[in-house]
Amino acid sequence: MAETTTAAAEEERNFVAHFKEQQISPPDEIQQNPKNGGLGASSRNLSVRDFELVRTLGTGTFARVWLVRLANPAEEDRDKVFALKVLRKVEVIKLKQVDHVNHERSVLSDVAGHPFITTLITSFSDHDSLYMLGFLDYNSNVDSLANVGTRMGLVYGWLYQWIGLQVLDTANGVLRYSKNGKAFRMNGTLGPQWALPTSVFAQAGKMGTGDLDPYEANEDFLLLRPFISPESEDMMTFVISKLTRSIPEMIPLLLAETTTAFRENFAPEDASGMDGEGWTHTCLFQHVNISLAKIVSRILCGEKYSSDAVWVNNVATFARGIFFSGMLLRRLPRWSHGLVAPWMKTTKQVAVIEKMVTEDVRGLVSGGVTGEDYERGVILPMLVEDVRGKKAFEGKGEEELLWGVNNRICRFFFATVDTTTLTFTHILYDVIGHKKELYVEPMRREIRDVSKKFGGVWNRESIGELKSLDAFMRESQRLHPLGYTLGSRKVAKKEGLDFISKGEDGEKVIHIPYGERIEGLAWAIHQDAEHYEDADVFKGFRTRDETIAGSNPSERFMSFGYGRHACPGRYVALTIEKIMLIEFLMNYDWKEIERLKDWSFGWNNIPDMASKVHIRRLSEEEVEKLWE
């Protein structure tokens, strides 16, 4: 009997390892196809001992999802990884979720083998737990999966943990992305996509937009064009040659507006949720979002706008909402976008921005107002001159120039407010998610020392000496990049592109056809033990003593992209974030909590946008003592 059981278990292990060889069928043929007979079925022989637990992908009220691989696998199966959902029986019964769990397993079993749905390979149980073993095919459709979750009543946390794994099979990328200099191709939700080894990054990093197009690649995912004209997509020259050089003039405005924004939004004195001890139980994400809308409005358009609550609230909701509008539009055929977008809230928000700013832009365009009439450090006059100098606007009239400037204002708000909100919220969660003596106290000490050295003056030089803050922010971005994959580009040359990869087997030519995408597996690279010791552990000062600046992308740090395709606005973003972090560290207290889990939407890795934390603004006496 023991031999029979062992043989059966080995047969089921082999099925798990090679399940992808089963036939993927149309929905109405799934159950009829005999090759799919085993998919989704319960196992009587497998146990948790048949798998090696690699790391936790996510946790829920009564379940945990693990990244696993087969224990003692055959040589050809070493790189195969799966997701194992573990449900604790006691908690399932206690929370009266038995019917829910049975329903979940039944639905996933029924659709196992469907080309657009999570593949449940098998399920099994032991005395303490229930187990569901799954894999996400490269052709899985994220939107369809989310839709099934909505209609079938499945657990959202479970679905999005699967979605996070689905992104170009990122977990598999941890094991494969740079090993032996190999590239691998998959059919993602946006078409054919390539994950490239680090050995070809230098080649890709030197190529311009004529070879690797960022605009079409980003549009496939973001879908901004129904709301913002593509004419303003190429702002790289403006950002690099003009905006970055203006950082010294912007810093005084950033300092003043950050203080104001935090006073108004981070546990203000009149906060309705403040308890008797002065603590406010609140969602940090919302405060970061509105504060950044206010701060960016100050440097882009001036104090007139940053002090206007209607303007600031509209900018904040626009910058975040346009992302979700794109997600909704992706569910619809592309031909319908132009018909649907005008009815969406984002279109109305764009109209509000344009209506409110048009008078001042018109004054600059007509020459009735000049840059000297604006506060030093405000970008708007410089932006108007940049548009006026574009070849596309040579000989154009006032209305065309006005349209060009307004278009860029909207794009600037999206690019700056949205991404910085996500990044800085991640940073704050890392601040409050660790003991103060580990990181906060050393960072506060560094702020005091640098301030004293420069006579209390914050400028580009003094801010640049905050090495501990640099390292902390970089480590937060390493473990919490905004996307599991970053740096998406489309091959723009009709003949395709050839890359030379170098691995253990020597040099090899990788040919990528026209129109296909390349991706940098940021999450996988950042989790690689070859690049980082204890790669899955947050070490806030990991890079403090390195000579490489936090703004410099590299083959092992991809949060800002790489080479010529690195984010041109990273210097401005890091300056804003560092000033905001100084404000928070030196004027606030908080109750430490376990680091909040990230949310996964498609290939996006965003901070928790709903959970609340306890914060309070320090009294004047406490602030003075902190600076001593």
Q: Find out whether 543 and 474 touch, Cβ atoms under 8 Å.
A: yes
Q: How confident is the model at residue 136 (pLDDT cuts 50, 70, 90)?
A: very low
DSSP letters, 249-294, are: HHHHHHHHHHHHHHHHHSS-TT-TTB-TTS-EEE-HHHHHHHHHHH
Q: Which residue has the tokens 């001159």?
A: 385
* DSSP secondary structure string for all residues of 44-63: SS--GGGEEEEEEEEE-SSE
Query: Residue 110 above 70 pLDDT?
Result: no
Residue 384 token pair:
């108007």
Helix, strand, coil % in the chain, rounded to nearest 5: 50, 15, 35
pLDDT at 381: 96
Q: What is the rounded average pLDDT for all residues in the chain? A: 81
pLDDT of 148 > 50? The answer is no
Q: Letter for the amino acid at 277?
A: E
pLDDT of res. 216: 86
Top mean-pLDDT range of 98-102, 202-206, 292-296: 292-296
Q: How far apart are alpha carbons 154 and 163 in whole angstroms? A: 13
Which pLDDT score, from 0 to 100, does residue 551 have? 63
What average pLDDT does the segment 596-603 reach?
A: 76
Mean pLDDT confidence for 103-132: 71
Count CB atoms within 10 A of the CB of residue 343: 8
Confidence of residue 331 (pLDDT cuts 50, 70, 90): confident
Q: Please say whether the beta carbons of 379 and 246 come within 8 A.
A: yes
Q: How confident is the model at residue 417 (pLDDT cuts 50, 70, 90)?
A: very high
Average pLDDT over residues 273-288: 86
Task: Work out the average pLDDT over 142-168.
Answer: 35
User: Could you tell me which residues are beta bridge partners of residue 119?
Assistant: 135
Tokens for 200, please give them. Answer: 């070809």
State the pLDDT at residue 138.
35
What are the pLDDT digits (tens) for 93-106? 877 778 777 767 77
Confidence of residue 155 (pLDDT cuts 50, 70, 90): very low
Token digits of residue 592: 């430490």
- Find the mean pLDDT for residues 1-25: 57
* pLDDT for the residue numbered 546: 82
Q: Residue 24: its pLDDT value, please?
A: 41
Q: Work out the pLDDT band at 554, boundaries 50, 70, 90.
A: confident
> What percentage of the chain exceeds 70 in pLDDT?
80
Residue 567 is labelled as binding a ligand: yes
Residue ranges of alpha helices (H) inside 483-569 are 522-526
Among 95-109, 226-240, 360-374, 571-585, the least confident range:
95-109
pLDDT (average), residues 219-235? 85
| pLDDT confidence band for 186 (50 / 70 / 90) | low
pLDDT at position 2: 42
Torsion of CA 615, 619, 623, 628, to 10 degrees: -130
pLDDT level of residue 16 (50, 70, 90 thresholds): low
Q: In Å, how far are 162, 206, 221, 224 from 215, measured between CA atoms?
A: 28, 17, 10, 10
Determine how β-strand 191-195 pairs with β-strand 517-520: parallel
Query: If pLDDT is split at 50, 70 and 90, which confidence band does 405 have?
Result: very high
Residue of 39 and 151 predicted with greater confidence = 39
Whether the pLDDT of residue 472 is over 90: the answer is: yes
DSSP secondary structure letter of residue 374: S
Question: Residues 42-69: pLDDT tens digits?
Answer: 787 888 889 988 777 666 667 788 888 8
Using DSSP bridges, classify how beta strands 191-195 and 129-135 pair: parallel, antiparallel or unpaired: unpaired
Look at residue 151 in the predicted model and tell me its pLDDT. 33
**pLDDT value at position 477?**
94
Residue 129 identity: S
pLDDT, tens digit, for every residue of 358-372? 999 999 999 899 989
How far out from the chain centre does Cα 50 lie?
34
Domains and CATH numbers, the chain: 2-176 (3.30.200.20), 231-485+530-627 (1.10.630.10)
Task: Report strand pairing: 506-512 vs 599-601.
Answer: unpaired
pLDDT at 496: 92
Which is more confident, 583 or 155? Answer: 583
Q: Say which range, 117-126, 226-235, 533-542, has the weakest mean pLDDT.
A: 117-126
Establish whether 85 is an annotated binding residue: yes
Return the minimum-mean-pLDDT range out of 179-193, 322-336, 553-567.
179-193
Q: What local confidence, expressed as pLDDT, does residue 167 receive?
A: 40
Mean pLDDT of 127-136: 81
* Lowest pLDDT segment from 227-236, 449-458, 619-628: 227-236
**Can you tell me the mean pLDDT for 328-354?**
90
* Residues 395-402, mean pLDDT to the nearest whole number: 90
pLDDT of residue 111: 56
Ranking 110-124, 227-241, 452-466, 468-482 by mean pLDDT, the lowest is 110-124
Rounded to an integer, the average pLDDT of 400-418 is 93
Residue 547 reports pLDDT greater than 90: no
pLDDT at 312: 96
Confidence of residue 128 (pLDDT cuts 50, 70, 90): confident
Q: Quick one: what percent of the chain has pLDDT higher than 90?
A: 39
- Beta pairing partners, 500: 509
Per-residue confidence (pLDDT) for residue 107, from 0 to 100? 65
